[in-house]
Homo-oligomer: A and B are copies of this chain.
């Protein structure tokens, strides 16, 4: 009986424990009543101890699994806060680079700034950041936020025709959808 209960417990907790403390006797020893009582009491104690070992091991295994997943997720999205804080930098940088200039100093300054912008994009790409494709793509509510819907001749409906603000993804997470104009 003790053997049977142990097996049940084992299945239930799906533990990695291979061996448990074996009962001293497979079957109850029947010499006299006093001895039988003692044996029963010992078997119960052993049973209790084995159950505790199995529970503890199962808890430990579960904790290890959960922790591993938690550490992996933390690692995967570790840049999320700083990337979110960098969005205004990217937006303003982007806008400034579109300034129309014709004077020499401004032109050369813009060139230098384009280089700095490329380095910035490179740094965030290395952490898993991607710009979301928008213009010309089919509208996708997971990636795009439609702030305008307009009728356009010779264009199917549901196509992104203009991007007002760039969207960004960190690996498989959308950090911010693109803000777009969509054809009706």
Residues of A that sit less than 8 Å from B by CB = 21-24, 29, 31, 34-35, 38-39, 41-42, 45-46, 48-50, 52-53, 56-57, 59-60, 63-64, 67, 70-71, 74-75, 78-79, 81-83, 85-86, 88-89, 92-93, 96, 99, 101-106, 109-110, 112-113, 115-116, 119-120, 122-124, 126-127
Contacts and interface: CB of A to CB of B under 8 A. Distances in A.
A35 B96 CA distance: 92
Q: How many monomers of this protein are in the complex?
A: 2
B127 A109 contact: no
Given A74-B75, A99-B112, A102-B105, A42 B46 contact: yes
A88 B123 CA distance: 9
A20 B123 CA distance: 55
Nearest to A84: B123
Contact of A46 (B49, B57, B63, B83): B49
Contacts of A21: 45, 48-49, 52
